[in-house]
Amino acid sequence: KIIEGLLADLNLPKEQKEVVKRVIHATVDLDYARGLIFHPCAIEAGLAALRTGKNIVTDVNMVKVGIRREILSGFGGAVACLINDQEVVKSSSQSGYTRAAISMRKAHQVMDGGIVAIGKAPTALFEVCDLVRKGKARPALIIGVPVGFVGAAESKKELITLPVPFITNQGGKG
């Protein structure tokens, strides 16, 4: 009720407003009320993916633990976060690429038709964008809100050019 009162003058579709309220609840940051950018089909695509039991792929465990797995699994979906996968760690140390980017490469097949939620690593979002452009990944929705001074804003700019529904924001705030 407190957040609803603070957003009384916010003119958004109901479904988008519900997402904004949850983001503000989690962050206590009212700037998200006017800072989130929604592709016109984002909510519909995300709900369809969830209802049909598709997976959610995350870049880091911090995002993974924020997803209510018991609800997701009730629809048949699962959460995948491969940041600490032994093959990912080994490949990262040998190649010099970030674990976040390599984890997205490894997870590309389980993200098809599902949701990708990037909450920390710009390199993960850049990799997902590259996989989509090359036709190697076909997520239904990409939530791209990586944080940082290096690459975060640029990765979000790249995201909004893709032919895939998205939710993001501008700048380095994640």
Straight-line distance from the first to the last Cα atom of the chain, in angstroms, rounded to the nearest whole number: 24
Which residue is catalytic, options 25, 34, 51, 90? Answer: 25
Show Cβ contacts of residue 108 under 8 Å, excluding neighbours closer than 6 positions.
131, 136, 137
| Helix locations, the chain, DSSP H | 2-6, 14-27, 32-35, 42-51, 61-64, 69-75, 86-95, 99-106, 122-133, 152-159
Q: Is 25 a catalytic residue?
A: yes
Collapsing DSSP to helix, strand or coil, 165 comes out as coil
The catalytic residues are 25
